Amino acid sequence: MSSTGYQGESVTSLESNSASKVDVLALLERGRELSTPLLREVVDRLAPPMDTVAAYHFGWIDAAGNPAAGDGGKAVRPALALISAEAAGAPPEKGVPGAVAVELVHNFSLLHDDLMDGDEQRRHRDTVWKVHGPAQAILVGDALFALANEVLLELGTVEAGRATRRLAVATRKLIDGQAQDMSFEDRERVSVDECLEMEGNKTGALLACAVSIGAVLGGADDKTADALERYGHHLGLAFQAVDDLLGIWGEPAETGKQAWSDLRQRKKSLPVCAALQAGGPASEKLAELLAADAKSVGKEEEGLTFDEEEFATRAALIEQAGGREWTSEEAKRQHATALAALEGVDMPDSIREQLTALADFVVVRRR
Amino acid sequence: MSSTGYQGESVTSLESNSASKVDVLALLERGRELSTPLLREVVDRLAPPMDTVAAYHFGWIDAAGNPAAGDGGKAVRPALALISAEAAGAPPEKGVPGAVAVELVHNFSLLHDDLMDGDEQRRHRDTVWKVHGPAQAILVGDALFALANEVLLELGTVEAGRATRRLAVATRKLIDGQAQDMSFEDRERVSVDECLEMEGNKTGALLACAVSIGAVLGGADDKTADALERYGHHLGLAFQAVDDLLGIWGEPAETGKQAWSDLRQRKKSLPVCAALQAGGPASEKLAELLAADAKSVGKEEEGLTFDEEEFATRAALIEQAGGREWTSEEAKRQHATALAALEGVDMPDSIREQLTALADFVVVRRR
């Protein structure tokens, strides 16, 4: 396996599965276009200076307050929420409040996680707590979470109540996942199963909610919504497996984060857990180094500040122990499980093709 | 006006208004007893270590993890939520999920506000961020907020959807209020009207929600719920006026907070705003001192660290300028407005008497 470049051909080969008729970038663009007006409208409700801080976070203005073109992320979740409405036979517009609510919860968690993790960069820009201070990061995160519930519940429908309940459960799982993720940093060893549970909470739950919330707003029954959630859950795990690879081997210029960011934060991500669980000389050497790292930093320490070579050594050991290969394969397994979950759902073929194409996109993204 | 002791007789005289048949402490105890089992059940759902951190915050365990008798606060909000259900002709039990949801939101805001404000003590104990670190304070706060929505929406009723919407709006106002409160710290001057708006958001909105949420869950129409909200809003303002007096002249042994805590944090609370707005020599001298304070601390500074005498000087100037007297009168005005709001609501006399007695209690509490 090559140690340069990202992923090799193993995941890329999935591209041949994708329904070539589907224009994924157009679907993402539609999600952004249909959801942004409502997102901006509700963010504008915030009292100053929270409206400005939120606008900075979303990339609508720069740190000086001037309008910015803005990289608000890929907006996979809004796109999924609209397709989700269509999966239930409703027009995509029906999914818009769900798309906005999920996007608000996602960004609430980014604001708080960046502060808790001490991350200084996101989407190639300084994070909110770096620019506006920790208090604003906390407060605006809280406000986005409150807005998420508000934007759904002001619909005043039974479906909105069901959608908000699913969002509340997903949000709590997301918070559970962050708690697990942080607690793993202080442990020498975490099993692959524990890591998958954490990632299912931290990433799977909200993606699952995005894929089901449009359908719920569109009047789908629980069986359909649950099947869509399963697709989203496994898609989230596939997405996170790719993210874990990027967290170690990704280029800062492409990821928008610091180099070795996951190793720096002592994250027990999938490649690390798989490598530790594999056994053998590289695995044992890695375990020794990580145990020494854990002892060398205090709990209040934000991260490790080794030089490049020391991170490179750890990355190489993870790879030698098979952690990189296993994670890459796991992304493919989760991708396949996600697609299998769609088989039980009665929906138009064109929608199934879109969900298939989006799954492919999520796994091969950012190469 | 005496500068020792709390409040003089001006507010105390309200006691003569209270319906003497009503046992307020028994109502508070009932609120605690009926709501605590569900509160504990939902808090138990949190992933470790968040369950432990939350249990510490609620006073169920001490910092070492041993069971504690716990001072979970006066539990005015749960008591109000149960009476609220009865105001709509429903049994008090109907208000329990509302009581728990409001209590969860209240405690979410305490966890985050203590961290943002740098408060080290609450209810005579170290605050969560002091004991378990800032990240846990953020995370457990988030989790309590998510649980608040969950506990209501899992009822699965239309009424629960309406109740959750009211809670979402109240929560956002509460966050707006905290944002305004913090922004006032950096300003030399804040008008009384601005201060009242901030306090209506920060304290009035959630108390208003507590007094209406039980009724909504009990099937009350919007007119009844809105009238109860008005009572709660003004009760909240009366409560906050008293709190503002305690924040300057309260005894640490009684309030559980640091001496001069509001002056220390440069809070523009009601007595300060009223004193600044009053004009005259004491008002002008106070304005000079506060302007100098504002220049002498950096934005990152958590608070002022003057000696006792300097805080005493400021407190005396606020009192000489009439800020203490005005705030005490304002508490009575808000108390009267709260009671007037009840006149439009059709409810059993016994319930009206309970709400009257609780309003009296809130204004004369902690002397």
pLDDT tens by residue, A184-233: 988 888 999 999 999 999 999 999 999 999 999 999 999 999 999 999 99
Residues A192 and A271: their CA atoms lie apart, in Å, by 9
Of the candidates B241, B233, B232, the one whose C-alpha atom is nearest the C-alpha of residue B10 is B241
A115 close to B (CB below 8 A)? yes
Q: Assess if residue B3 is contained within a domain.
A: no
Is residue A232 within 8 A of residue A209, CB to CB? The reply is yes
B169: nearest CA in chain A?
A150
What pLDDT is stored for residue B123 in this prediction?
A: 82
A153: nearest CA in chain B?
B165
Is residue A328 within 8 A of residue A274, CB to CB? The reply is no
B112 close to A (CB below 8 A)? yes
B180 close to A (CB below 8 A)? yes
Q: Assess if residue B2 is contained within a domain.
A: no
| Contact across the interface for A143 and B45, Cβ inside 8 Å | no
What residues contact A93, with CB distance under 8 A and at least 6 apart? Answer: A34, A82, A85
Going by pLDDT thresholds of 50, 70 and 90, the confidence category of residue B362 is: confident
Q: Assess if residue B36 is contained within a domain.
A: yes
| Contact across the interface for A49 and B116, Cβ inside 8 Å | no
| Contact across the interface for A138 and B115, Cβ inside 8 Å | yes
What residues in A contact B115, CB-CB < 8 Å? 138
Residues A33 and A70: their CA atoms lie apart, in Å, by 14
ipTM of the complex: 0.88
Question: Average pLDDT in the A22-40 region?
Answer: 95
CA torsion sign, B56 to B62 to B64 to B67? Answer: negative
Is residue B300 within 8 A of residue B332, CB to CB? The reply is no
Could you tell me the residue range of the domain that residue B297 belongs to?
A: 20-364
What pLDDT is stored for residue B302 in this prediction?
A: 54
A268 close to B (CB below 8 A)? no
| Contact across the interface for B169 and A147, Cβ inside 8 Å | no
In percent, the amount of chain A with pLDDT more than 90 equals: 74
Residues A173 and B286: their CA atoms lie apart, in Å, by 50
Radius of gyration of chain B (CA): 20
Going by pLDDT thresholds of 50, 70 and 90, the confidence category of residue B59 is: very high
Mean pLDDT (chain B, rounded): 89
What pLDDT is stored for residue A299 in this prediction?
A: 42
Distance from CA of A173 to the nearest CA of B (A): 9
The answer to which of A164-168, A293-297, A329-333 has the lowest mean pLDDT is A293-297
Q: Assess if residue A2 is contained within a domain.
A: no
Beta bridge partner(s), residue B125: B122
Question: Average pLDDT in the B13-32 region?
Answer: 75
Residues B214 and A188: their CA atoms lie apart, in Å, by 48
B42: nearest CA in chain A?
A172
The most confident of the ranges A119-133, A142-156, B57-71 is A142-156
Residues B177 and A145: their CA atoms lie apart, in Å, by 16
Residues A316 and B105: their CA atoms lie apart, in Å, by 46
Q: Assess if residue B177 is contained within a domain.
A: yes
Residue B151 confidence (pLDDT) above 90? yes
B69 close to A (CB below 8 A)? no
Question: Average pLDDT in the A97-117 region?
Answer: 96
Distance from CA of A356 to the nearest CA of B (A): 31
Residue B6 confidence (pLDDT) above 50? no
Going by pLDDT thresholds of 50, 70 and 90, the confidence category of residue B350 is: very high
What pLDDT is stored for residue B20 in this prediction?
A: 57
B133 close to A (CB below 8 A)? yes
Residue B17 confidence (pLDDT) above 80? no
Q: Which of A42, A109, A172 should we substitute to test contact with B (largest number of B Cβ atoms within 10 Å)?
A: A172
Question: Average pLDDT in the A70-91 region?
Answer: 90
Of the candidates A4, A6, A1, the one whose C-alpha atom is nearest the C-alpha of residue A246 is A6
Residue B298 confidence (pLDDT) above 70? no
Going by pLDDT thresholds of 50, 70 and 90, the confidence category of residue B139 is: very high
| Contact across the interface for A179 and B139, Cβ inside 8 Å | yes
A298 close to B (CB below 8 A)? no
Q: Assess if residue B138 is contained within a domain.
A: yes
Question: Average pLDDT in the B232-244 region?
Answer: 96
Residue B12 confidence (pLDDT) above 50? no
Size of interface A-B (CB pairs under 8 A): 134
Interval B178-218: pLDDT, tens: 999 999 988 888 999 999 999 999 999 999 999 999 999 99
Q: How many other CB atoms are there within 10 angstroms of residue B282's CB atom?
A: 18
Distance from CA of A264 to the nearest CA of B (A): 18
Interval B250-280: pLDDT, tens: 888 777 777 788 888 888 999 999 999 999 9
Question: Average pLDDT in the B88-94 region?
Answer: 97
A179 close to B (CB below 8 A)? yes
Q: Given the DSSP bridges, would you call strands A125-126 and A121-122 parallel, antiparallel or unpaired?
A: antiparallel
Going by pLDDT thresholds of 50, 70 and 90, the confidence category of residue B233 is: very high
Question: Average pLDDT in the B325-340 region?
Answer: 96
H or E segment at A121?
A: strand A121-122
Of the candidates A45, A46, A146, the beta carbon closest to that of B171 is on A146
Residue B174 confidence (pLDDT) above 80? yes
Of the candidates A115, A147, A149, the beta carbon closest to that of B138 is on A115
Residue B1 confidence (pLDDT) above 60? no
B155 close to A (CB below 8 A)? no
What residues in B contact A168, CB-CB < 8 Å? 146, 149-150, 153
| Contact across the interface for A164 and B153, Cβ inside 8 Å | yes
What residues in A contact B300, CB-CB < 8 Å? 133
Q: Assess if residue B74 is contained within a domain.
A: yes
Distance from CA of A118 to the nearest CA of B (A): 10
Look at phi and psi of residue A133 and say left if phi exceeds 0, alpha if psi is from -120 to 50, else beta.
left
Q: Which residue has the tokens 């400021």?
A: B314
What pLDDT is stored for residue A300 in this prediction?
A: 41
The answer to which of A66-75, A206-215, B313-322, B354-363 has the lowest mean pLDDT is A66-75
Of the candidates A145, A183, A201, the beta carbon closest to that of B145 is on A145
Q: Assess if residue B14 is contained within a domain.
A: no
What pLDDT is stored for residue B235 in this prediction?
A: 97
Going by pLDDT thresholds of 50, 70 and 90, the confidence category of residue B71 is: low
A142 close to B (CB below 8 A)? yes
Q: What is the CATH number of the domain that holds A277?
A: 1.10.600.10
A171: nearest CA in chain B?
B146
Number of domains forming the structure of chain A: 1
What pLDDT is stored for residue A1 in this prediction?
A: 35
A112 close to B (CB below 8 A)? yes
A172 close to B (CB below 8 A)? yes
What residues in A contact B150, CB-CB < 8 Å? 165, 168-169, 172
